[in-house]
Amino acid sequence: MSVVYDTIDAENNGRSLKLMGSTGTKKSRMLEFFFRVMKGENVSVKKLADEYGVSSKSISRDIGEIKTFLYDHRDLVDNTELKYAASSKSYYLEFENFLLSKELIAVIKMMIGCRAFSKMELLDIVDKLKNFTSRHDRTMLDQIIAKEMYHYNEVNSDCKSVIDHIWTLTRCIYERIEITLTYYKASRDLVERRIMPVAITFSDYYFYLIAYRCDTLDWVPLYYRVDRIAGIVEHRKHFVLDKEHDFDEGELREKIQFMFSGKYRKIKFSYTGSSVQAILDKIPTAKIIEKKGDTKIIEAETYGIGMFLLSQGSRVTALEPPEFVEEMKEEIKKMQAQYEE
């Protein structure tokens, strides 16, 4: 009896394996098809039928089951649809949350314009972003991007990867870790600085790390260009910031547009010119508090704004506070002295 049962079991197991193999093949086929359209491929019924050695009806049934699944699980897949393109007689996947081509080109042009990344880093990011738009528009996008990338001039960098540095610094900021930077100053002198990193911001082609020095707790924020950081050493020591000296990065962008160190303060200056809106756009915290003919009295809260205001020439006059007025006067005297020599 046991032999008979063993034989019967073996036969049944064989049939089960065949059935499982058939079902497994169908599942694998459907999963592979779904993965291909997820990656942006346009796939025709005939092509799939030829590849898998099955009838077109079998492939059509697979597609029907996938469509039904997507429809029944809209709460999970965000109205993702398997659509048919009559022009190519193929199916493609359309995501509700796809990055639209017009959005993608705007993002890419912004990234190219900022010149903050190396050419290889930028190409890698662009290739990944393209996966989030429809396959239909990729040919056009590739041609547009190719022209942009041909003329792309990256900013010279002292580090291997700006992206790697940004991630390391972001983690150190989050975990409040003291670090030592090996850093190239504008003079090209190589220095080491032990600092408390507090924020990262972007301005005029460069990413900047904002930090406090560990050896002088005067709480004046210092700015380090990320591309000039040759090395980063993380220490075991963690730091604590009180609310007064902590940074809110959203608020920071309003108050720091010019990467020059200096005290945070409220200033007042007059502006005589036709493009006052350019001043207001450049300094988000600026507001006109008084008008005297063609002259506008402007108030702003910011860091290190003096160099920008000096660039406006005689159109700007510093008014308050007194130490700010004196700083501007001293800088103008130095400028004038250079022309008198």
pLDDT in tens, 310-335: 888 889 999 999 998 998 999 899 88
- How would you write the chain as a 3-class SS string? CHHHHHHHHHHHHHHHHHHHHHHHHHHHHHHHHHHHHHCCCCECHHHHHHHHCCCHHHHHHHHHHHHHHHHHCHHHHCCCEEEEECCCCEEEEECCCCCCHHHHHHHHHHHHHHCCCCHHHHHHHHHHHHCCCCHHHHHHHHHHHHHHHHCCCCCCCCCCCHHHHHHHHHHHHHHCEEEEEEEECCCCCEEEEEEEEEEEEEECCEEEEEEEECCCCCCCCEEEEHHHEEEEEEEEEECCCCCCCCCCHHHHHHHCCCCCCCCCEEEEEEEECCCHHHHHHHCCCCEEEEEECCEEEEEEEECCCHHHHHCCHHHEEEEECHHHHHHHHHHHHHHHHHHHC
- Would you state the structure tokens that stand for residue 163, as one six-digit string? 């992206």
Is residue 179 within 8 A of residue 188, CB to CB? The reply is no
Q: How many Å apart are CA 81 and CA 66, to the nearest integer?
A: 9
pLDDT at 252 over 80: no
Distances (CA, A) of 179 to 162, 257, 260: 17, 25, 21
Is residue 116 within 8 A of residue 207, CB to CB? The reply is yes
Q: How many Å apart are CA 60 and CA 81, to the nearest integer?
A: 15
pLDDT recorded at residue 307 = 77
pLDDT recorded at residue 154 = 80
pLDDT recorded at residue 134 = 64
Strand 287-292 with 206-213, pairing? unpaired
Q: Which residues, other chains included, contact 310 with Cβ-Cβ below 8 Å and sequence gap of 6+?
A: 316, 328, 331, 332, 335
pLDDT recorded at residue 259 = 54
pLDDT recorded at residue 22 = 39
Calculate what percentage of the chain has a pLDDT beyond 70.
Answer: 82
pLDDT recorded at residue 3 = 35
Calculate what percentage of the chain has a pLDDT beyond 90.
Answer: 23
pLDDT at 269 over 60: yes
Work out the burial of residue 176: count CB atoms within 10 Å of its CB; fewer than 13 is exposed, 13-18 middle, 19 or more buried: middle
Q: How many Å apart are CA 225 and CA 207, to the nearest integer?
A: 6
Residue 94 CB neighbour total at 10 angstroms: 13
pLDDT recorded at residue 171 = 96
Task: Pick 48 or 259 by higher pLDDT.
Answer: 48
pLDDT recorded at residue 42 = 81
pLDDT at 280 over 60: yes
Q: How many Å apart are CA 15 and CA 13, to the nearest integer?
A: 5
Question: What pairs with residue 222 in β-bridges?
Answer: 211
Q: 0.95 cut: is pTM over it?
A: no
pLDDT in tens, 126-179: 888 877 676 667 777 888 888 788 878 887 888 889 999 999 999 999 999 999
pLDDT at 8 over 80: no
pLDDT at 23 over 50: no
